[in-house]
Amino acid sequence: MNTTTANHTNASFDLPSTQHAVLITEFGEPEVMTYQDGVDVPKLSDDQVLVKVAYAGINPVDYKTRQGKGWGANNIQKEKFDHDKAAILGFDVAGVVVKSNSDKFAMGDQVAALTFAGGGYAEYMAVDANLLAKVPNGVTLEQAGALPCVGQTALQFVEFANIKTGEHVVMNAPAGGVGQLVVQQLIDKVATDNIKVTVICSPEKYGKLDTFIDKAKLEGWIDYTKDEDFPDLQADVLLDLVGDDAGVRALSTLKSDARVKVLPTIWADKLKEAGEGKNLTVDGFTCKPSGQSMAEVLQKMHEGKLKLHIQNTYPLSDAVAAHTKLQKGDTFGKIVLAVDPDS
Ligand SMILES: NC(=O)c1ccc[n+]([C@@H]2O[C@H](COP(=O)([O-])OP(=O)(O)OC[C@H]3O[C@@H](n4cnc5c(N)ncnc54)[C@H](OP(=O)(O)O)[C@@H]3O)[C@@H](O)[C@H]2O)c1
């Protein structure tokens, strides 16, 4: 199937050849991102869909990539910078299909996806159809744009943790982008699997947790801003969403032979080393994007089983301010870029 003979062609949409987008031509501080006009609208490959972007979520992986760190930056270096091409950041997208090379999606469909190919900080984004899901009624495009990375990660991460009946689970960063969705699933398991949940956060974030959970269902909470040792809770599982020294510090809450699941995977080895005396099993976890996973998390939002708090929405032209805010590391919920909110 090619772009001109697809079942769902762009016959009734008059698409421009250029667009506004946020480009980087080098790694560095937020200011390396520049909002520009006259950027080519992407061409579609087989089984891709062109999405007119309404909202694009931003995630810590975006600013790490912009700083030149990790697999995202390596890909940009090889595929773009080494060929003197600019790159467009952004792995989260929600918007409207304006051209389709897929039988599964038609023009006008509202869709969302997580795609590690990037390109979300733009008016138009080409997305592999197998990564997309339709946005159900009752879920706004703003929520859908905030959800792809944190939603798919939170669902897969809790499944990966394989928490068993009666276990005591400790987690940090329960009010962050991923954390808010992880803690809601854990609280559900308090009722269904009789687990205990202790959260590690600042007093400010503890004060706001009622936004997504019934705090009475927590076993307890630990104020990490106090300069004192964490309690030995003899907990069975640590879900570490912060890593580094914060992750190491949380190990003292665990019993011997406990399990540690690390979301910022670069810190898994550090925690493994620090936990040797307790014979801990430490595993890093990486989200695997798929349309099915996207559909599952959207459905949970639609059914009211998961709530998503959006802290700030910035216009696309303010991507620098959005990154500056997110990389402070103290968000309450999600930060989103509004690209074309009227889609
Ligand atoms: N491996 C993967 O596939 C994958 C996928 C998604 C995300 N990640 C990684 O997972 C991490 C979390 O992502 P996110 O989107 O949830 O980040 P985020 O929204 O930026 O997390 C912010 C939260 O972290 C909390 N926090 C910061 N320092 C803390 C500490 N020392 N102890 C306890 N809480 C602390 C903050 O609360 P306070 O204000 O209370 O400090 C804030 O609410 C990031 O490193 C991200 O890169 C990995």
List the pLDDT tens digit at each of the 343 positions of the chain: 333 334 444 444 789 999 999 999 999 999 999 999 999 999 999 999 999 999 999 999 999 999 999 999 999 999 999 999 999 999 999 999 999 999 999 999 999 999 999 999 999 999 999 999 999 999 999 999 999 999 999 999 999 999 999 999 999 999 999 999 999 999 999 999 999 999 999 999 999 999 999 999 999 999 999 999 999 999 999 999 999 999 999 999 999 999 999 999 999 999 999 999 999 999 999 999 999 999 999 999 999 999 999 999 999 999 999 999 999 999 999 999 999 988 7
Protein residues whose CB sits closer than 6 Å to any atom of ligand 1 = 59-61, 149-150, 153, 172-173, 175-179, 200-202, 205, 224, 241-242, 246, 263-265, 285-287, 326, 329-332
Could you tell me the distance, in angstroms and rounded to a whole number, from the CA of residue 177 to the centre of ligand 1? Answer: 7
In the numeric block, the tokens 């705090």 are attached to 215
pTM equals 0.96
Could you tell me the distance, in angstroms and rounded to a whole number, from the CA of residue 193 to the centre of ligand 1? Answer: 26
Could you tell me the distance, in angstroms and rounded to a whole number, from the CA of residue 153 to the centre of ligand 1? Answer: 12
Residue nearest to atom 1 of ligand 1 (CA): 286
For a mutational test of ligand 1's pocket, the pick from 150, 172, 212, 330, i.e. the residue with the most ligand atoms closer than 8 A to its C-beta, is 330
The pLDDT value recorded for residue 4 is 35
Could you tell me the distance, in angstroms and rounded to a whole number, from the CA of residue 40 to the centre of ligand 1? Answer: 34
Distance CA 309, CA 142 (A): 11
Could you tell me the distance, in angstroms and rounded to a whole number, from the CA of residue 331 to the centre of ligand 1? Answer: 8
H or E segment to which residue 146 belongs: helix 141-146
Strand-pair partners of 87: 24
Could you tell me the distance, in angstroms and rounded to a whole number, from the CA of residue 42 to the centre of ligand 1? Answer: 32
* Domain 151-284 classification at class level: alpha beta
Which token pair is 331?
């968000």
168-172: strand order across its sheet: 220-223, 196-201, 168-172, 235-240, 254-262, 281-284
* Domain residue limits, the chain: 18-147+308-338, 151-284
Which token pair is 146?
């905030």
Residue nearest to atom 40 of ligand 1 (CA): 202
The answer to whether residues 148 and 114 touch, using CB atoms and an 8 Å cutoff, is yes
Residue nearest to atom 15 of ligand 1 (CA): 177
Domain at 18-147+308-338: CATH code = 3.90.180.10
For a mutational test of ligand 1's pocket, the pick from 59, 208, 262, i.e. the residue with the most ligand atoms closer than 8 A to its C-beta, is 59
- Which runs of E-coded beta strand occur in 1-118? 18-23, 34-40, 48-58, 92-100, 110-114
How many CB atoms sit inside 10 A of residue 13's CB? 14
For a mutational test of ligand 1's pocket, the pick from 65, 114, 178, 226, i.e. the residue with the most ligand atoms closer than 8 A to its C-beta, is 178
Could you tell me the distance, in angstroms and rounded to a whole number, from the CA of residue 163 to the centre of ligand 1? Answer: 21
Could you tell me the distance, in angstroms and rounded to a whole number, from the CA of residue 150 to the centre of ligand 1? Answer: 10
Alpha helix ranges (H) inside 67-138: 70-79
